[in-house]
């Protein structure tokens, strides 16, 4: 079997988890990460390119004769990395710039949902402050204001009253506090209900849906405090029945993909709609045009099919030829963060206990913000540092295993949520 040279773009826990899974493929040859982290350097070769350095990456791929590139983070996708690779006849996994618009323009995605009758919160898109202000005046509170462009998860504001809404609109539209990403805002109805993450692999023609998962976005227990990149995930979800998943598949997943196709923006790669299970049925909060982080760390523990086969099928349009299987297990990931995250935090803290914690076969530790210092000490290098993942026959078992492993790891000011999975148990 010919081995493939693979490049994974990105540096988070998600990219480590994807690399960990791809490495298990008998067809996986040399594995590169750009730029990667300490964890990825133990399973592959880190190359020092920024994820958005499209030109540098193309030159590298040509020079090293990389067979397949996986474009994982949102920003290179928004910059059109897939289109640029395709122009050069290079094989790449991910959506084109137009298809990824589902994520990088919330204005686009909301208008798309409205046009095709997809279930989502009522909304308006405004670039004009006066119009935005008058929309807010005529609607009830709380009201949700979202920066349209990519905002590192910091561009959504739930405003409890008019004063807050006015201040938020003024900051985004007049003071340009989000730069161009805030040239437009989406103002929408406040929804309630449990939030879930759905993911689907697609080659643009067929698709294969993942089990449902749940992230924990807020820094504090009981979902208090500011939003983060995600503090922990569980899958599958005891609160989502097969019947509900079927409904979501029909009304949300299949229709989104077929309507994107109809509109000439065929989506290929991974699509990740974030949903809210409202009293009036599941509604789309947003689309992401890529794998979630830390959902992926949990998903890779459950995926039973060769990931490289899936990636190749998505690129080649042959996804109908393979069956994707998921282990009949539960899995979870607990994120270990630097104290102070998502606000300011220190880096460079020595991490200890990883080897001890990963002794059990059900435990895998994925690196995010880590690096080696000049003395080969493993140190912290970001807000989210590690993701401790575990599998089990039940979610309860997986969580117990993961928290047991977490106890063995330490670094100064390490912080994690102790209530991951609690809501769905
Ligand atoms: N219409 C809404 N009603 C209530 N909460 C919302 C609504 N839209 C978003 N949220 C909350 O804000 C979070 C971030 O919103 P989202 O649209 O996913 O933006 P992003 O992930 O790009 O920051 C969601 O995970 C959800 O908790
Ligand atoms: Mg989101």
Does 91 share its domain with 129?
A: no
> Mean pLDDT over residues 290-310, rounded?
98
How far apart CA 171 and CA 166 sit, in angstroms, is 9
Report the mean per-residue pLDDT for the chain: 97
pLDDT in tens, 176-216: 999 999 999 999 999 999 999 999 999 999 999 999 999 99
Does 84 share its domain with 127?
A: no
How far apart CA 357 and CA 229 sit, in angstroms, is 24
User: How many C-beta atoms lie closer than 10 Å to residue 200's C-beta?
Assistant: 20
Residue 143 in this model has a pLDDT that exceeds 80: yes
Q: Which residues make up the environment of ion ligand 2, defined by Cβ < 5 Å? A: 274
CB 364 within 8 A of CB 354: no
Residue 388 in this model has a pLDDT that exceeds 90: yes
What lies within 8 Å, CB to CB, of 120 at 6+ separation is: 110, 113, 114, 188, 283, 284, 285
- Tell me, what's the pLDDT at 360? 87
Reported confidence tier of residue 169, pLDDT bands at 50, 70, 90: very high
- Tell me, what's the pLDDT at 88? 98
Does 74 share its domain with 142?
A: no
Does 22 share its domain with 92?
A: yes
Whether the upstream peptide bond of residue 236 has omega within 30° of 0, thus cis, is: yes
User: How many C-beta atoms lie closer than 10 Å to residue 372's C-beta?
Assistant: 14
Query: Domains in the chain: how many in total?
Result: 2
Residue 16 in domain: yes
Residue 167 in domain: yes
How far apart CA 371 and CA 377 sit, in angstroms, is 8
For residue 314, report the distance from its CA to the centre of ligand 1, in Å: 29
How far apart CA 186 and CA 235 sit, in angstroms, is 30
- Boundary of a domain, candidates 157, 189, 221: 189
Residue 180 in domain: yes
Nearest ligand, CA 152: 1
Burial classification of residue 328, based on how many CB atoms lie within 10 Å of its CB (0-12 exposed, 13-18 middle, 19 or more buried):
exposed
Of the candidates 215, 176, 178, 181, which has an alpha carbon nearest to the alpha carbon of residue 195? 215
Residue 214 in domain: no
Does 93 share its domain with 8?
A: yes
How far apart CA 44 and CA 32 sit, in angstroms, is 5
Residue 182 in domain: yes
- Boundary of a domain, candidates 167, 189, 211: 189
CATH number at residue 151: 3.30.1490.20
**Residue of 190, 194, 285 with the most ligand 1 atoms within 8 Å of its CB, for mutation:** 285
Residue 250 in domain: no
Which residues surround ligand 1 with Cβ inside 6 Å?
121, 144, 146, 153, 155-156, 158, 188-191, 195, 217, 274, 285-286
Does 81 share its domain with 158?
A: no
**Residue 284 DSSP SS3:** strand
Of the candidates 264, 211, 270, which has an alpha carbon nearest to the alpha carbon of residue 242? 211
- Tell me, what's the pLDDT at 249? 98
For residue 156, report the distance from its CA to the centre of ligand 1, in Å: 6
> Mean pLDDT over residues 4-26, rounded?
98
CB 286 within 8 A of CB 273: yes
Residue 276 in this model has a pLDDT that exceeds 80: yes
Residue 185 in domain: yes
Does 142 share its domain with 91?
A: no
- Tell me, what's the pLDDT at 213? 98
Of all protein residues, whose CA lies closest to atom 18 belonging to ligand 1? 286
Domain that holds residue 184: 122-189
Angle formed at CA 293 by CA 368 and CA 398, multiple of 5 degrees: 90
- Tell me, what's the pLDDT at 359? 85
Residue 37 in this model has a pLDDT that exceeds 80: yes
CB 335 within 8 A of CB 294: yes
Does 89 share its domain with 135?
A: no
Ligand 1: which atom is nearest the Cα of residue 121? 1
For residue 334, report the distance from its CA to the centre of ligand 1, in Å: 21
Does 72 share its domain with 9?
A: yes
CB 207 within 8 A of CB 272: no
Of all protein residues, whose CA lies closest to atom 11 belonging to ligand 1? 156
pTM score: 0.98
- Tell me, what's the pLDDT at 279? 98
Does 87 share its domain with 129?
A: no
pLDDT in tens, 88-108: 999 999 999 999 999 999 999
Reported confidence tier of residue 228, pLDDT bands at 50, 70, 90: very high
Residue 341 in this model has a pLDDT that exceeds 90: yes
Whether the upstream peptide bond of residue 294 has omega within 30° of 0, thus cis, is: yes
Of all protein residues, whose CA lies closest to atom 1 belonging to ligand 1? 190
- Boundary of a domain, candidates 44, 64, 97: 97
- Tell me, what's the pLDDT at 370? 98
Ligand 1: which atom is nearest the Cα of residue 155? 23
How far apart CA 118 and CA 372 sit, in angstroms, is 47
CB 283 within 8 A of CB 120: yes
Residue 32 in domain: yes
pLDDT in tens, 238-272: 999 999 999 999 999 999 999 999 999 999 999 99
- Tell me, what's the pLDDT at 345? 98
Does 91 share its domain with 10?
A: yes
Residue 361 in this model has a pLDDT that exceeds 90: no
How far apart CA 247 and CA 377 sit, in angstroms, is 49
Angle formed at CA 177 by CA 175 and CA 178, multiple of 5 degrees: 130
Residue 32 in this model has a pLDDT that exceeds 90: yes
**Residue of 286, 289, 295 with the most ligand 1 atoms within 8 Å of its CB, for mutation:** 286
CATH number at residue 82: 3.40.50.20
Residue 1 in this model has a pLDDT that exceeds 80: no
Angle formed at CA 402 by CA 276 and CA 197, multiple of 5 degrees: 15
């Amino acid at each position: 079997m010919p081995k493939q040279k693979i490049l994974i773009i990105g540096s988070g826990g998600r990219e480590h988890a994807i690399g960990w899974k791809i490495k298990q493929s008998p067809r996986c040859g040399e594995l590169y990460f750009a730029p990667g982290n300490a964890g990825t350097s133990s399973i592959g070769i880190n190359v020092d390119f920024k994820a958005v350095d499209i030109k540098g990456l193309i030159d590298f791929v040509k020079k090293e004769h990389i067979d397949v590139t996986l474009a994982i983070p949102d920003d290179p996708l928004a910059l059109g990395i897939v289109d640029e690779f395709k122009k050069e006849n290079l094989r790449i996994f991910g959506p084109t710039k137009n298809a990824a618009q589902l994520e990088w323009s919330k204005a686009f995605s909301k208008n798309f949902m409205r046009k095709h009758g997809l279930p989502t919160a009522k909304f308006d898109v405004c670039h004009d402050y006066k119009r935005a202000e008058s929309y807010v005046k005529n609607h009830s509170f709380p009201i949700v204001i979202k920066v349209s462009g990519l905002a590192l998860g910091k561009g959504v504001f739930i405003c409890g009253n008019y004063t807050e809404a006015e201040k938020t609109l003024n900051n985004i539209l007049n003071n340009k506090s989000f730069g161009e990403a805030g040239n437009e805002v989406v103002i929408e109805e406040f929804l309630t209900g449990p939030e879930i993450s759905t993911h689907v692999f697609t080659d643009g023609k067929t698709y294969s849906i993942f089990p449902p998962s749940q992230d924990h976005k807020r820094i504090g227990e009981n979902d208090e405090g500011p939003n983060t990149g995600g503090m922990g995930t569980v899958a599958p979800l005891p609160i989502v029945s097969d019947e509900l998943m079927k409904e979501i598949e029909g009304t949300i997943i299949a229709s989104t993909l077929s309507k994107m196709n109809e509109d000439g923006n065929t989506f290929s790669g991974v699509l990740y709609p974030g949903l809210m299970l409202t009293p009036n049925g599941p509604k789309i909060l947003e689309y992401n045009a890529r794998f979630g982080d830390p959902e992926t760390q949990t998903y890779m523990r459950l995926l039973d099919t060769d990931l490289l086969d899936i990636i190749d099928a998505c690129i080649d349009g042959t996804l109908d030829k393979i069956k994707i299987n998921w282990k009949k297990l539960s899995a979870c990931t607990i994120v270990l963060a630097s104290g102070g995250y998502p606000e300011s935090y220190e880096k460079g803290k020595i991490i200890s206990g990883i080897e001890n914690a990963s002794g059990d076969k059900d435990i895998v530790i994925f690196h995010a913000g880590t690096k080696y210092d000049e003395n080969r000490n493993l140190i912290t290098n970001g807000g989210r540092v590690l993701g401790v993942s575990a599998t089990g026959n039940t979610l309860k078992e997986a969580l117990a295993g993961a928290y047991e492993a977490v106890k063995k790891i330490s670094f100064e000011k390490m912080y994690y949520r102790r209530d991951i999975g609690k809501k769905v148990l």
